[in-house]
Structure formats: structure tokens, C-alpha cells
Amino acid sequence: MNQIFTNDLLRLAYQETNLSETLNLVEAIENDCEKKQSFQSLMGMKKSLDSLKYTPSDASIDFILSYSQRQKVAL
């Protein structure tokens, strides 16, 4: 499978394709086992990424608060 098609599958996974592209990609996925497996794999990776928590570490928060306090004193 070529890189361009893989990029198109990724765009489809993130709903960044127009209607025409979506229909063409869905048809290609339904008619090719390798493409279907690739798309399912991408969707699994997307689901894993979507489930990650985006929380800064305590050290990052402390650094930001410390920096903020230094800026208030400097003013």
C-alpha cells in the first residue's frame, strides 16, 4: 500500500475527507482486505491516542507558577 493512500486513510480516521473522498475510501476499504486491516489498525491507534490524558506533571505546574510569581515581582 502506498504512502498517499495511508495518508488518506489517516485523514478518513480523523474525518478530514470530503464526501467524495470518503465514499471512494470506504469503497476501497470494503473491497481490499489489506486496506481494511490497515484502516482498522489506524482506528485502533487513534482510539488509544484519544484515550490518553493530557495532564501536565506536578513539576511543570510548579515551574509555571514559580515563573508567574517571579514575573509579578519584576513588575
pLDDT of residue 3: 85
Q: How confident is the model at residue 62 (pLDDT cuts 50, 70, 90)?
A: very high
Q: How confident is the model at residue 74 (pLDDT cuts 50, 70, 90)?
A: low
pLDDT of residue 13: 95
The per-residue pLDDT of the chain, averaged, comes to: 91
Q: Average of pLDDT values for 45-65?
A: 91
Task: Give the span between the Cα atoms of 52 and 12, in whole angstroms.
Answer: 21
Q: Average of pLDDT values for 24-29?
A: 96
pLDDT of 1 over the 80 cut: no
Q: How far is CA 33 from CA 1, 30, 47, 49, 68, in A?
A: 11, 7, 21, 24, 55
